[in-house]
Structure 1
Amino acid sequence: MASIVDRIKHYLRSPQGQRTRAKAQRLARDPRTQAKARSLLARLRGGKRH
């Protein structure tokens, strides 16, 4: 049985995995998505909510 890391690597090499990866990279560059991520991390760390 393949390990979870091997299964993830296999998925990322597939066409669907490539599309998912491209979408994640595009979202990561979006300033609105970055702001949401910073807000979530601040809440998880116990920071102030904005």
Structure 2
Amino acid sequence: MAGIMTKIKAWTRSPQGQKARARAERMARDPRTQAKARGLLAKFRGKRRHY
């Protein structure tokens, strides 16, 4: 398992990993993306709410 974690850490430090992280952070700040995530969580919890 340590080999996989080492590879993941190396990828996150690479330019491609940094770019993916920045994109994920931008998406996380988007209210529409947040609403989608809340909806999925509610669905998995069995409570369907509309925000």
Quickly name the TM-score band, shorter chain normalised: 0.7 to 0.9
TM (norm. structure 1) is 0.88
Percent identity among equivalent residues? Answer: 65
Which ranges in structure 2 are unaligned for 5 or more consecutive residues? Answer: none
Which ranges in structure 1 are unaligned for 5 or more consecutive residues? Answer: none
Moved over 6 A (4+): none
Q: What RMSD, in angstroms, separates the aligned Cα atoms of the two structures?
A: 1.2
TM (norm. structure 2) is 0.86
Alignment: residue pair count: 49
- Greater RCO structure (CA 8 Å; 6+ sep): 2
